[in-house]
Amino acid sequence: MLQFNRWQIGAILTLVALGLYFATPNFFAPGKTPPGFTDTRITLGLDLQGGSYLLLEVDTDQVLQDRIESLQADVRRTLRTADGGRIAFGRLGLAENRLTVPITNESDYDRALKELRALSRPLGGLGGLGGAGRDYSVKASDGQTVQIELTEEAQKFYADSAVSDSIEVIRRRIDSMGTTEPSIQRQGINRLVVQVPGDSDSEGLKSVINRTGRLSFHMVDQTADPNAPVPPRRLRLPLVEQPGAELTIFETADVTGDMVTDASASPNSDGGGFQVNFAFDSRGSRRFREVTTENVGRSFAIVLDNEIISAPRIISPITGGSGRITGDFPPAEAAELAVLIRSGALPAELTTIEQRTVGADLGADSVRAGTIALIIGFLAVVVYIVLTYGRFGIYADIALIANVLLIAGALSLLGATLTLPGIAGIVLTIGMAVDANVLIFERIREEIQSGKTPVAAVEAGYNHAKSAIFDANLTTLIAAAIMFYLGAGPVRGFAVTLGIGVITSVFTAFVVTRVLAGRYVLGQRPKTLTL
């Protein structure tokens, strides 16, 4: 089929024009897109614009372990205050996701089972998530011990919320650092990908992300002997202000970080350095007022991530619902502390398992080098094709240009991220894109040699090359799909452009050059074809 009606030709031209239309905004600065154009653009990958990529692992095992550990207290209380009298029990056995409760008297067993079963609750609160299952399964075993296990659903649920809560906390932290457009995505079960473009300070970023940020206020136990072993229900923590010094504090926190509504850094109002100001919610204000009223003259400790950052003496009751931490901080550290306090604590520990940071100048160098390689590769191919196939070579080159426009348009429309390997994919595609045309042209030459007229030869060339083109390009497409699904980072960027390039190149070879070749042989009826 060499004849195309005007509708078909119109559709082809429209498609190529759309490629140009969607690709155009890339040539203008963001926000400066000329009127009439949609703001579709290719996002440059971090390797091209500079930035930091962090892969973090959320320690969900610890979250589950914390759950089971906190269950111990509930179990003890339940058994002590059981209906019909206290139930005697032995030492609780703590294993992974499981608590073993030995019941001393066999006669209490059924009662214990009943009481402990009442501990199990629906996940996500009552009426929260219907059908999500229960948090614990309480099982009888051998008439002497009761097994309490986190259910499969609960393990999934708690791990899941630890990860999504972490995302929220990290987002708040990065946002309050004033960084532009961070992207935080979940990957797999317990991983997060944090991508922050721009010439960011990766170490600063990491220190803000990785700190748990658990803030609490405890009274200092001034009666404790610093050299004696730590008394029960007390903690001995290092004091940041004086390296080497330690203070003994009460284990129970009077006020916790979740009662803080705001925090900010400002120059110290009496003394050097910076201070961190914070405000409590109503519950926190009340607790803070009570504690400071009862303990005038004693010290309380402000604890962040198991370190005492400050232990001021209470001079007078603090009733205003706000306070400050003075510790002669450098401005940057005060600001970082404020960010940590404001954004809340991470629900679980995070470990950075992969980090890649590219400076903005290396990114710019890569863009320049990639573009030069693209242009020179393109020109070399274009010239070579014309030298080889003459008039038909020009057709192939027009198809190649249409191809590049379509790739650029598709990438812009998808909002795809262009990486350096992605540019390599485009360069490679340019080299390979002409393959479909080469197959067709070589076939046409053979058909001419076998004595066909130009029109018949062109027609037969397209028809006979079809299956080879189809098979050949499908193999490349398979390779691209595998790279996309199994590959990491740079490999995926390459797979996307290679895959799109294969599809557009088949289209342009089959349709664009066929229209041009068809118009030529049918319109001018050449006696012989030179190619």
What is the footprint of other proteins within residues 58-77 (CB under 8 A)? 59, 61
Given 290, 305, 328, 446, the residue binding other proteins (CB under 8 A): 446
Return the range that interacts with other proteins (CB under 8 A); candidates 7-15, 16-24, 36-44, 461-469. 461-469
**How far from each other are the two terminal CA atoms of the chain, in whole angstroms?**
20
**316 lies in the site for other proteins, by CB under 8 A:** no
**403 lies in the site for other proteins, by CB under 8 A:** no
Task: Specify the residue, 68 or 423, whose C-beta has the smaller distance to other proteins.
Answer: 423
Question: For strand 417-418 and strand 43-44, is the pairing parallel, antiparallel, or unpaired?
Answer: parallel
- The answer to whether the CB of 186 falls within 8 A of the CB of 192 is yes
Phi and psi based region of residue 374 (left: phi greater than 0; alpha: psi -120 to 50; beta: remaining): alpha
Torsion angle in degrees (nearest 10) through CA of 118, 122, 124, 127: -110
**79 lies in the site for other proteins, by CB under 8 A:** no
Q: How many residues bind other proteins (CB under 8 A)?
A: 83
**166 lies in the site for other proteins, by CB under 8 A:** no
Q: Footprint of other proteins on residues 380-399 (CB under 8 A)?
A: 380-381, 384-390, 393
According to the 3-state scheme, what is the secondary structure of 458-507?
HHHHHHHHHHHHHHHHHHHHHHHHHHHHHCCHHHHHHHHHHHHHHHHHHH
Q: How far is the CB of 278 from other proteins (least distance, A)?
A: 29
**240 lies in the site for other proteins, by CB under 8 A:** no
Q: Footprint of other proteins on residues 2-61 (CB under 8 A)?
A: 47, 55, 57, 59, 61
- The answer to whether the CB of 265 falls within 8 A of the CB of 342 is no
Helix (H) / strand (E) containing 184: strand 183-187
Given 1, 31, 471, 523, the residue binding other proteins (CB under 8 A): 471
Q: Footprint of other proteins on residues 475-504 (CB under 8 A)?
A: 475-476, 478-480, 482-483, 486-491, 494-495, 498
Order across the sheet with 300-304: list the strands.
Answer: 255-256, 215-219, 300-304, 307-310
d(CA 200, CA 179): 8
Given 286, 289, 445, 519, the residue binding other proteins (CB under 8 A): 445
Return the range that interacts with other proteins (CB under 8 A); candidates 79-87, 144-152, 221-229, 469-477. 469-477
Return the range that interacts with other proteins (CB under 8 A); candidates 117-125, 126-134, 331-339, 420-428. 420-428
**97 lies in the site for other proteins, by CB under 8 A:** no
d(CA 404, CA 373): 14
Q: How far is the CB of 521 from other proteins (least distance, A)?
A: 17
